[in-house]
Amino acid sequence: MTEKILVVDDEQDLLLVLDRSLTRKGYEVQCAESGKAAWKSIEETMFDLVISDLAMDDLNGLELLKRVRAADSTLPFIIMTGVGTIESAVDAIKLGAYQYITKPFKMRDIEVLTQRALEYGKLHRKLDSIRLHEEDDSSAEMIIGSSKSMQNLLRQVEKISDSDAPVLIQGETGTGKSLLAKKIHESSSRRDNPFQTIDCGSLKDTLLESELFGHVKGSFTGAIRAKRGLMEEAQGGTIFLDEISEITLQTQVKLLRAIQEKDIRPVGGNKSIPIDVRFISATNRNLKEETDNESFRKDLYYRLAVVPLYLPPLRDRKEDIPQLIEFLLEKYQKRYRKKISHIRSNVLHMLRNAPWKGNIRELANILERGVLLAENETLTLDCLFTAPDGIFDGEDKGRVVTLKDAVESAEINVIKNALESTENNRTQAARVLGISRRALYDKIAAYDLNL
Ligand SMILES: Nc1ncnc2c1ncn2[C@@H]1O[C@H](COP(=O)(O)OP(=O)(O)OP(=O)(O)O)[C@@H](O)[C@H]1O
Ligand SMILES: [Mg+2]
């Protein structure tokens, strides 16, 4: 399928050059001479990429980007800027542009960037569709655990779910903290009201505060409109503060105030808004210890951890592994429409005894790969642990590559590009990628991408 690119610039000459060179590369190119014309085309046609000038009279590049983002979260957008407008270019990245390129540029550069942006868009859409798919599958939400420690935990959960007591969930990565938070909400009388999640690791200070508490118009650069905070959006329901250990001391003070006073003040505003929400937080650190070295406020800790819950690592509840395997295999067989009827005993043995540093998420990933790679109905060690060679060098055209591996190699590319284009600034790279810094660090480690 030919990929469609929309090129927007009020400079005819540049449009012509770009049209010619991208068409020669095999893309279908459409040109627009103004922001307004571009928006009209976008409303009519499904593009795979927009490359737009920044400064245009009627509707500039940033405004166009904003409109696009409101309608489509995955369409990649490249901004072209003249010299001296770098700051707006940075704004563009914040608004969700894939990348910016400074004029004048070499055709080769824009071609490479185009290719990467298209790849990025494809990956984004694929992940989105998998997620969508998953949401209507209610069995995906089940909590498996017949081990003693999980049964204890689940009994505790049953007792506290329907109270308004703040819950702090601690446990290693992948042990099911997010899943448990959702489950608590769903077993409470707040279940018909919203459940709002905020990843505290992905945003810093003002941005995090504005996400949480909202902001008034003009309270900081980029606050073009007043915005309601998630706490207000969660009214009557539950707010899930994920990676709570990541919030700065400044934000901790404000959060403490909100919990104590049961009201919030939007950033830049002076009117307070009463809130009725239940707080659930999660962290994979030992938060109590963080209060000892003063990176986390004690008073806030005690407010959040009225009910402390601990999810044990998978290696300490090996009894749960077979049941988890069964449950997860079921899920992936459905997802990929494949049938697995047997599993070799050495596989079971290995799965029971692996260290599972990534806990259930890691187990799930391995089984997902296994289902994809299985050639008959039997799950063998080979399908679990051997990645086909040659996936990453792009030389071996004849090989059949699975969806999972395709997604993984695309993900690796996208991460490498983001690191390259931000000169290895991981905070910026995470922002460009739209994931939390923690998630980026995890991925860098998982794929061994340390530059
Ligand atoms: N007890 C369980 N039964 C079934 N599936 C589970 C269970 N625990 C976790 N999972 C699944 O494992 C994956 C990881 O769980 P989850 O995202 O909740 O972990 P987490 O502790 O929040 O991880 P992180 O610290 O990285 O945010 C999810 O797909 C989740 O559905
Ligand atoms: Mg989580």
**Partners of residue 64 on adjacent β-strands:** none
C-alpha 323: how far from its chain's center?
28
* Backbone dihedral angles phi then psi of residue 32, each to the nearest 5 degrees: -135, 135
Closest of 13, 20, 9, 32 to residue 111, by C-alpha = 20
**Strand 278-283 and strand 238-242: pairing?**
parallel
- The helix/strand count (H/E) of the chain reads as 19, 16
pTM, rounded to two decimals? 0.60
In 214-248, which residue ranges form alpha helices assigned H by DSSP?
230-233
Give pLDDT, residue 444.
86
Domain boundaries, the chain: 4-134, 144-312, 315-446
Radius of gyration of the chain (CA): 24
**Partners of residue 201 on adjacent β-strands:** none
Report helix, strand or coil for 309: strand
Q: Are 196 and 230 in contact (CB under 8 A)?
A: yes
Q: Would you say the CATH fold of 144-312 matches that of 4-134? A: yes
State the chain's maximal CA–CA distance in angstroms: 71
Q: How far apart are CA 60 and CA 56, in angstroms?
A: 5
Q: Are 7 and 51 in contact (CB under 8 A)?
A: yes
Task: Provide the CATH number for the domain formed by 315-446 in this structure.
Answer: 1.10.8.60
Task: Give residues with Cβ within 8 angstroms of 246, minimum separation 6.
Answer: 200, 201, 438
- The CATH class of the 4-134 domain is alpha beta
Q: How far apart are CA 190 and CA 164, in angstroms?
A: 9
How many whole angstroms from 359 Cα to the centroid of ligand 1?
Answer: 8
What stretch of H or E contains 120? helix 107-135
Q: Which atom of ligand 1 is nearest to the CA of 171?
A: 21
How many whole angstroms from 385 Cα to the centroid of ligand 1?
Answer: 21
How many whole angstroms from 202 Cα to the centroid of ligand 2?
Answer: 13
How many whole angstroms from 173 Cα to the centroid of ligand 2?
Answer: 7
Q: Is the CB of 251 inside a 6 Å radius of any atom of ligand 1?
A: no
Q: Are 277 and 238 in contact (CB under 8 A)?
A: yes
314-354 pLDDT, tens per residue? 999 988 888 888 889 888 888 888 888 777 767 777 888 88
Report helix, strand or coil for 54: coil
Q: Is the CB of 284 inside a 6 Å radius of any atom of ligand 1?
A: yes
Q: Which residues does the chain have with pLDDT short of 50?
A: 135-136, 138-139, 386-403, 406
Task: Provide the CATH number for the domain formed by 144-312 in this structure.
Answer: 3.40.50.300
Q: How far apart are CA 308 and CA 156, in angstroms?
A: 10
- DSSP state for residue 50 in the 8-state scheme: E
What stretch of H or E contains 449? none
Q: Is the CB of 439 inside a 6 Å radius of any atom of ligand 1?
A: no
Q: Is the CB of 358 inside a 6 Å radius of any atom of ligand 1?
A: no
* Backbone dihedral angles phi then psi of residue 314, each to the nearest 5 degrees: -60, -35
